[in-house]
Amino acid sequence: MSFSVKNYKKMYINEEEEILINNSKFNNNNHRYSEIVDLNREFGINNNNNKNNFKEQDEEEYNNKELYKQKRRLGFKEKVIPIVILVIITAMVIGLVVFSIPYDSSSNSFNLSPFVINIDDQLLTVAIESRQYLLSVHNSTITKLDFVILLMEPGGSWSMATFNGDALSNATECAYLPFLASAVNWCIQNGNDPHCLQMVAQPMMDSFSSITTGILIDIITNAPNKPFPQGPTSSAFQQWQSQRMYVENFLDSIGLLGNQTLINKVYPSNSGPTPSQGEGMIYNITGPNYMDPYNAAMLMLYIVHSGILSSGTSYMTDLISRQTFSQYTSLGFGLPPGSIIHSVLGTTNTDVNEIAHMVLPNGNEIIISAFSDGYQNYGYTPYQSSILGMFTENLLENLNLNQGNPPKIIISATYCNQLNDGNVVTVKGPWLIGESIQAYNKTFYYIQGTGGNNYDNSSSESSTVNNSYTIEYMIDIQVSGLYEVCVWFPSCSNHSTVSYSISPNDQGPTWDTTSYKPTYTYYISQIHYGARWILLDSFYFLQGNKPTITISTWGVPTTSTVVADTIKLTMWPNVKGIPGFSPNFVLENTQD
């Protein structure tokens, strides 16, 4: 084999590459370090990097050993205190979180809320029991009740229970609540006062005026009704339709639109008795307005607690402030007197829907949105839509939310004398005891009418009617005050209009022995609207007095039945010696 410089260089390069490869393999083997150094010297390879690597590795191992020794010398405090501090900081961060994700009963996520809202299984259990009780008692009237309940907790957070919370229902006049909020938003956007559309907003909320509602929609959308000859696929219609989505866009901007439809007017409107032209095209595409209980309840929460449009909070709550036992509410029929209620009620010939914020005299606060099919149109306003009052009352009782409210007295005719509580029921005549799921305690007295002339169907002062069978409730008043008086009975087609006579039995001054002691008589039909509280009136009763309420067969045809079931007296709040005055009636300062 010949040897040349060229071959030597080639061999040198090849061997150098081989040695370099070997060095990389030996880099992490301390026991081969001296062998590698000898090879490098033989071929003149500078491998200081290997030396440094081993030195650095030795130093690193030494440092690690020293660090390990130091860690082993750490005491209990040094180990535990950092962990405790970390846990505390984490808890503080979690406690400061103001956003939560509500879920419905099927664990579907809805939207982020600027309020702390917690799913409450116990609240849901109680609410479902109250729902089932309502549907069982009124099984021939109501089959559907979807709801969302928000209950304020002492710390300011909210507990939530929902049953079909995302189910869509015909919005009816409940759509007026998002319409109102959108109108206030429009006023603020245009640099006006929040109530700049008062002339159309107030009759919309007070009188359920669909005409002024249509005017309001035209104003805030700037898209009054008009024809579109090219049809719904034309760009002109689509542009007009996008303007009509003002309410939906507003709700979507605050995360409360969901799958709701809120683009249509309520008819008859300012553009005609039924949808036509462009409005007819939209209606054919979307159908009527639809709302769901969850987004409805959340919108009420946002409005009454300034989650949106804080400068318009007082204005909006003023417009939706209602009285219990009125045509503006159904849930309110189950509230004690002196409660505050902000409500929007919507009805059809079958539906009773309501979005309500309620504050009890004791300060407990609850929001309920309920969509049902429990409308009963038998006349006698406001009881056509009163069916949801039973749901409210049972919910409050079962959640113990009435604790701290003024006292109430409930007297059932068939049970009273067994209680020995100072109240007495006196039965005169051959009354029989019947059973019904609609009776307050499942039993009641009944008897055939005795005929005679009746009075006009109105409240009046009269003398006691003789020659009739009666049941008299005598009430033991323990606390002087203003009392709301209600009656309860099962309804039936063979019942009749019955008289309830109230004698306050106010003794008056000791020297006054001749004053006329009036009796107030009310005529109530027992044919319809049973199994709920029917309001008679409110009376101021004095402690120690024994007022009476008497049901008589006088004036009832002999072919009809008179029923005596239960009465309820609930005391109004009394603050600063003012009967009926609740501390909640004084509003706190607001931003506007």
Rg (CA), the chain: 38
CA-to-CA separations, 199 to 196, 204, 217, 423, in angstroms, rounded: 8, 9, 13, 52
* Cβ(499)–Cβ(555) below 8 Å: yes
Structure confidence at residue 203 (pLDDT): 98
Structure confidence at residue 185 (pLDDT): 97
Residue 532 is encoded by which pair of tokens? 């709920």
Structure confidence at residue 25 (pLDDT): 39
* Cβ(400)–Cβ(343) below 8 Å: no
With tokens 């909640």, the residue in question is 584
The pLDDT profile of the chain, 592 residues, written as one tens digit per residue, is 433 333 333 333 344 443 333 444 334 444 433 443 343 444 343 444 443 444 444 454 445 445 444 544 545 555 556 666 666 665 554 444 434 444 333 333 334 578 999 999 999 999 999 999 999 999 999 999 999 999 999 999 999 999 999 999 999 999 999 999 999 999 999 999 999 999 999 999 999 999 999 999 999 999 999 999 999 999 999 999 999 999 999 999 999 999 999 999 999 999 999 999 999 999 999 999 999 999 999 999 999 999 999 999 999 999 999 999 999 999 999 999 999 999 999 999 999 999 999 999 999 999 999 999 999 999 888 999 999 999 999 999 999 999 999 999 999 999 887 887 899 999 999 999 999 999 999 999 999 999 876 544 443 433 344 578 999 999 999 999 999 999 999 999 999 999 999 999 865 555 555 556 789 999 999 999 999 999 999 999 999 999 999 999 999 999 999 999 999 999 999 988 899 988 877 766 544 4
Rounded CA-CA distance 405/407 in Å is 6
The full set of domain ranges for the chain reads 5-73, 97-167+292-406, 168-288, 408-571
Nearest by Cα to 206 from 198, 214, 215: 198
Rounded CA-CA distance 175/208 in Å is 11
CATH 3.40.605.10 fits 408-571, yes or no: no
Write the secondary structure of 305-331 as one string of H (helix), E (strand) and C (coil).
CCCCCHHHHHHHHHHCEECCCCCCCCH
pTM of the model: 0.79
Question: Where do the DSSP E strands lie in 348-456?
Answer: 352-359, 365-372, 408-412, 424-428, 432-435, 443-448
Rounded CA-CA distance 127/35 in Å is 84
* Cβ(117)–Cβ(102) below 8 Å: yes
Residue 310 is encoded by which pair of tokens? 């804080």
365-372 β-sheet, strand order? 117-119, 158-163, 145-152, 365-372, 352-359, 340-347, 321-322
* Cβ(306)–Cβ(313) below 8 Å: yes
Structure confidence at residue 568 (pLDDT): 98
Structure confidence at residue 90 (pLDDT): 59
Nearest by Cα to 406 from 566, 569, 542, 577: 569
Do you know the residue count of the chain? 592
**Start-to-end Cα distance in the chain:** 106
